Amino acid sequence: MQEATMAGLMPPPAHRSDPVPPPVVPPFVVPRRAVKKWQSLGALRWVISTTRRGVPIPWTRHPPRFHSRGYTLSTPDAAWDAG
């Protein structure tokens, strides 16, 4: 089976006769491969920037710190934890 060599193209779907299915490609990889081609076609800077860096989220404040409440241990586990 031939891998996709052109930017932005995913490998063709595996056919039942193929001995090995094509590798799974995460969804964000395909658009990032196509960025240079999109630039040559005149894509907006916002499209290129968003594809490369993601969508900026305007936080009004930092998220709260995570504090674990802990959990209780069974008697055997507590004895083991105590050493």
pLDDT tens digits, one per residue of 7-65: 556 666 666 665 777 778 888 888 888 899 999 999 999 999 998 888 888 888 888 88
- E strands present in 1-58: none
Q: How many domains does the chain have?
A: 1
Judge whether 13 lies within some domain: no
pLDDT confidence of residue 16: 61
pLDDT confidence of residue 64: 83
Q: Which residues fall within 8 angstroms of residue 38, CB to CB, at 6 or more apart?
A: 8, 47, 48, 51
Judge whether 18 lies within some domain: no
DSSP code of 3? P
Q: Give yes or no for residue 1 having a pLDDT over 50.
A: no
Domain that holds residue 48: 27-55
Judge whether 66 lies within some domain: no
Say what the pTM is: 0.41
